[in-house]
């Protein structure tokens, strides 16, 4: 398992991050390091803080304490003086460095598949419309939807929409890609086509943090699995270790046992 070293520093460095919604602590001093090219899967029961952690990484959620750094830069807060939220402009810049794919796709319904991908390229990356269109077509090709460039989201199946969602995120050339239960809203027969895209991105060396309930996929595609429970990291390690039979972690064992019982 790749460990961050001076020669290979962590691309994503989550350090003792805590967050509460009112009196409910959703993240308790979570630390996690991800190096370039790693695919880290976060599993755990619902309410364990997986999705919140992911949303803190691109600052869709603020966090109360600790720090999250991408490529050495603090994500949501200014690095000088007192802890102060970054300006709207700075936050937007930081967010453009991370890609995110959502459970409910969240494609822009008024734009075509290509238009969805082009928006960020035009307005954030400052590409010309010819360039943006070419990039959009390239990525639509990569996710197998070259022929759907001019279709509106409402004309696409769930699996196709999610593949556009992935293309929209990676076209921005993010340093890290966050995948938030991206197959949970899909009909079972459409899950495969989406995971196939993720697998090919992983093979290309895209750094990813993925929250998922697809254990088989997590086992095959991840370099590391992190098990979260009650807002904290309860276990972390290579898939064979975490999903193996000898794991010495009662909560993980009961999670996996319940999971297997409900999925097979």
Partner 1 sequence: MLGQIAYALPFLAQGFAVTLWVSLLVVVLSLVAGVMMGVGLVYGPAPLRWAVRIFSDTIRGIPILVLIFFVYYGLPAVGLHLESFWAAVLALTLFKTAQVIEYLRGAVGSIPKGQSEAAMAIGLTFRQRLAYVIFPQAFRRFLPPWINGVTDAVKGSALVSLLGITDLMHAINQVIGRTYEAMPLYILGAVIYFAVNYALSLASRRLERRFSFIRE
Instruction: List residues near partner 1 by CB under 8 A.
Output: 58, 60, 88-89, 92-93, 95-100, 102, 104, 106-110, 119-120, 123-124, 152, 154, 168-169, 172
Residues in the chain: 264
Three-state SS for 238? coil
Nearest distance from residue 89's CB to partner 1, in Å? 6
Other Cβ atoms less than 10 A from the Cβ of 264: the count is 5
Q: Which residues contact 179 (CB under 8 A, 6 or more apart)?
A: 100, 101, 198, 208, 209, 210, 211, 212
Residue in 190, 239, 188, 250 with CA at minimum distance from that of residue 216:
239
Nearest distance from residue 60's CB to partner 1, in Å? 6
Nearest distance from residue 61's CB to partner 1, in Å? 10
Question: Is 49 or 153 the residue whose CB approaches partner 1 more closely?
Answer: 153
Question: Is 39 or 172 the residue whose CB approaches partner 1 more closely?
Answer: 172
Nearest distance from residue 27's CB to partner 1, in Å? 18
Other Cβ atoms less than 10 A from the Cβ of 212: the count is 22
Question: Is 123 or 147 the residue whose CB approaches partner 1 more closely?
Answer: 123
Question: Is 165 or 233 the residue whose CB approaches partner 1 more closely?
Answer: 165
Three-state SS for 181? coil
Question: Is 111 or 215 the residue whose CB approaches partner 1 more closely?
Answer: 111
Question: Is 19 or 168 the residue whose CB approaches partner 1 more closely?
Answer: 168
Site of tokens 């102060």:
84
Q: Tell me if 18 sits within 8 A of 8, measured CB to CB.
A: no
Question: Is 28 or 69 the residue whose CB approaches partner 1 more closely?
Answer: 69
Spatial distance between the Cα atoms of 86 and 72, rounded to a whole number of angstroms: 16
What beta strand segments (E) does the chain contain?
12-21, 24-34, 39-43, 65-70, 73-74, 98-101, 176-180, 208-211, 224-229, 232-237
Q: Which residues pair with 178 in a beta bridge?
A: 100, 209
């Amino acid at each position: 398992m790749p460990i961050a070293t001076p020669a290979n520093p962590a691309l994503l460095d989550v350090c003792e991050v805590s967050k509460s919604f009112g009196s409910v602590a959703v993240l308790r001093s979570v630390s996690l390091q991800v190096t370039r090219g790693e695919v880290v899967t976060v599993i755990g029961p619902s309410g364990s803080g997986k999705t919140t952690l992911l949303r803190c990484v691109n600052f869709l959620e603020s966090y109360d304490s600790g720090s999250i750094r991408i490529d050495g830069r603090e994500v949501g807060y200014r690095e000088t003086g007192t802890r102060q939220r970054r300006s709207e402009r700075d936050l937007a810049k930081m967010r453009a460095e991370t890609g995110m794919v959502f459970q409910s796709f969240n494609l822009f319904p008024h734009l075509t598949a290509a238009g969805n991908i082009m928006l960020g390229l035009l307005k954030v990356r400052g590409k010309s419309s010819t360039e943006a269109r070419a990039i959009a077509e390239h990525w639509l090709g990569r996710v197998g939807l070259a022929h759907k460039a001019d279709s509106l989201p409402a004309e696409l199946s769930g699996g196709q929409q999610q593949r556009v969602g992935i293309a929209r995120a990676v076209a921005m050339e993010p340093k890290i890609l966050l995948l938030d239960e991206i197959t949970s809203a899909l009909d079972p027969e459409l899950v495969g086509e989406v995971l196939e895209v993720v697998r090919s991105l992983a093979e290309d060396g895209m750094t990813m943090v993925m929250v998922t309930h697809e254990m088989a996929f997590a086992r095959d595609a991840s370099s590391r699995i992190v098990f979260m429970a009650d807002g904290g990291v309860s276990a972390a390690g290579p898939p064979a270790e975490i999903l193996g039979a000898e794991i010495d972690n009662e909560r993980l064992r009961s999670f996996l046992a319940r999971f297997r019982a409900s999925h097979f």
